[in-house]
Structure 1
Amino acid sequence: MWSLFLLFLLSLLSYLFTDELIPKLDHLFINAGMFGIDLCKANKNKIPEAVGVISGCVFLITCFMFIPIVFGYDLMDREHFPHNEFAELLAALLSICCMLLLGFADDVLDLRWRYKLLLPTIASLPLLVVYYVNFNSTTFVIPIPLRHWLGTSIDIGFLYYIYMGMLAVFCTNAINILAGINGLEVGQSVVIALSIVIFNIIEISGDQHKAHTFSLHILIPYLATTLALLKHNWYPSKVFVGDTFCYVSGMTFAVVGILSHFSKTVLLFFLPQIINFVYSVPQLFHFIPCPRHRLPKYSAETDLLYPSRTIIVKKDMLFISKLTIKFASLFRLVDITEDSESIMMNNMTLINLFLIKCGPMSEVRLTISLLIFQACCSCIAFLIRYPMASYFYDK
């Protein structure tokens, strides 16, 4: 446990360093043309973009500096050196480092969506190779109600590696599409990271203590640097985090979930992101027209945010588009106005859904509401993981 104490002190220094570094380097991004305009504000000031690369770099440097600390004693005894654990940590950091590079390239080059799906897959390859060498466990435990038909467990083989690769793709992009207002990307990542840390602390005294200690070695410095970034990204935002931060965050969560063997629990902490993804599917797959920006609409007169909208021409509608609108209207998931030629409806994001159900609100109140929802979903995840799990799995 002494290593965790030293890591906490090192992470505290990384928080202070990140907090000092961000305002000192923001002008470099503006000078390089990497800036944006906050569409949810009346002013049109230039705001540095892709600043998540700073917190990501400090996070990785902190992890690198911690390697001699956590493995320092083992270096004295080369015969019993934990090569497997060392390989896991290096593979984890390599995958995160790849996503930092690829995410920054995306911010600079503005890559198409098809590449956003490909990049996490490539970055997860070192992770999957180490998993294959060290574990190669591809067995799912069958829930108790289904064991009469399927048995106690089932080995899905290569499909398990496809699942882990898809997990990396989902985690990186799920945070990216639930974004657009000050503090939301970083705030939701903080809540997810805190939830996993609490889960690790609960489980660290059990049989898998090494796996949960490994997770804490990654998440504690990540949480420290992310909190420093949140301070500058909170309303009114002084910096934008960019896709770089979303990619690094998603890969970090995927890394600890895969190598610490609780990937299904990690997905439980992504409930709001799963809801947002399912709700967004009609626009992501262009069954419904999808504009480049689906941000809420800002009104300078009231200083409030309203649901943004998209227009559908009736004569161009596909059958699946009509079916989607009918289904969403039945469950009151969309706000629709129409005339003889077109239909106007809200963009299908969780942010706009909140504005439909709760009414127009200020940006900071909307962010807080969404983060409270994220925290409530984490509580539901713990409820599923512990009391409810005993009905489906052996204790």
Structure 2
Amino acid sequence: MAVDVEANTTWKMHFPILINFLMSIVAYFLTARLIPGIKEKFIKANLFGIDMSKTTSDKVPESLGVVTGCAFLITTFLFIPVPFGSSLIQGEYPHEQLVELLAALLSICCMLLLGFADDVLDLRWRHKLLLPTIASLPLLMVYYVNFNATTIVVPKPFRDLFGFSVDIGIFYYVYMGMLAVFCTNAINILAGVNGLETGQSVVIAVSIVVFNIVELSGPLWKAHQFSLYFMLPYTATTLALLKHNWYPSRVFVGDTFCYFSGMTFAVVGILGHFSKTILLFFIPQVFNFLYSAPQLFRFIPCPRHRLPKFNSKIDRLEISTTVFKYSDLNVLGKIVIKLFKLFKLIKWQEKDGVVVTNNLTLINLVLLYFGPLHEAKLVSILIGIQVVFTGVAFAIRYPLASVFYDL
């Protein structure tokens, strides 16, 4: 009898994942063929841009992330009967899991729509912070109804002060809402060169897939199975987009893709019960946000575009700069400048009180250290950084975590 139960559990665990994997392969090939066939329609609809890092002025279709998002949603919709249909046949009614799946799809669909609206209407930054918060509400409500788990385990060094665990209540929901906002904007901030948005997203998605597969053998296997339902088709459709977005890019992904990707990562992190672990896979994005924060919050003047400059004479990208008077900086701005100069994170040129510095992005920082680079090489370095910190994330999650937690 025990053997039958174990075999049934193994079947319920692996069969839906296998079907999802096969459907994802089909989604990859269909999306890869659909993108070149539909991109002319975007140009006719005036959804295009000019690649500022090329000598040509060809029109490149913009917002192709909506195609990837739709392919992902269709694949996931078609997959719904697989895990739930087999449960119904066996006389089980997994209402909670179905509600989770539908709420997750609702949040992702909302961000896909809002991202496309941003590409078309060019929304302001305050809207970009508000919209993910609204789109995450169905997600948080389902989490509240189904789990409402707001207790965190305290690291060993602090247990004498706070005990083994602490219930932080509503602040955990605030954290999850902020996670959704961060994920949707973090990829959008670290962007602007061919293949970077899709490349970093693929690395993050593959990292989550590997993590989910490792954790399938644990007690929370259903949560990680749920995450794989999303990550496998997401990875497949994003790889199809990367094929056309890699240097030299034939399509631009737009804010649509960044919002759609960020919300998908937030969904699996929250409902898959690894919302803290998922931040480990965003280490480069966290650094880029902290590094960019002085400009994003206007402690240091921030131009509209902080993309690296293209030097057509040598076919290389160089750091872009911002110019301001040092006397115009407030106290926080001056403190930030001193810290960045101390840690050699900024190129500083000052003459007669007028300052010229590099814009504060990870892209410009790489160019600061490596010098002018060809765009393809620059992107390869940035994706390499993402891969390296994926290894760091797994090291933190497994060997180092045992030092601070009872694993």
Query: TM-score, normalised on structure 1?
Result: 0.99
Letter in 1 for 2:374: S
* CA displacement at 1:270 relative to structure 2: 0.2
Distance across 1 between alignment mates of 2:43 and 2:304: 23
* CA displacement at 1:341 relative to structure 2: 3.3
1:284-317 Cα shifts (integer Å, max 9, x gaps): 0011111111001110000011100000123422
* CA displacement at 1:70 relative to structure 2: 1.6
1:26-67 Cα shifts (integer Å, max 9, x gaps): 111111111111111111111001000000000000000000
Structure 1 residue ranges without an equivalent (≥5): none
Match of 2:381 in 1: 369
Structure 2 residue ranges without an equivalent (≥5): 1-13
Question: Residue 74 of structure 1 is aligned with which of 79, 84, 87?
Answer: 87
SS at match of 1:311: strand
Q: Does 1:262 align with 2:274?
A: yes
Match of 1:184 in 2: 196
* CA displacement at 1:323 relative to structure 2: 1.8
Question: Equivalent residues in 2 for 1:1-395 (5 A)?
Answer: 1-76=14-89, 80-395=92-407
SS at match of 1:333: coil
Distance across 2 between alignment mates of 1:202 and 1:136: 25
* CA displacement at 1:238 relative to structure 2: 0.3
SS at match of 1:92: helix
SS at match of 1:106: helix
* CA displacement at 1:5 relative to structure 2: 1.3
Distance across 2 between alignment mates of 1:317 and 1:277: 20
SS at match of 1:128: helix
Distance across 2 between alignment mates of 1:314 and 1:133: 52
1:234-254 Cα shifts (integer Å, max 9, x gaps): 000000000000001000110
* CA displacement at 1:320 relative to structure 2: 2.0
Distance across 2 between alignment mates of 1:353 and 1:255: 31
SS at match of 2:349: strand
Query: TM-score, normalised on structure 2?
Result: 0.96
* Alignment size in residue pairs: 394
SS at match of 1:338: strand
Letter in 2 for 1:17: L
Distance across 1 between alignment mates of 2:404 and 2:335: 35
Letter in 1 for 2:26: L
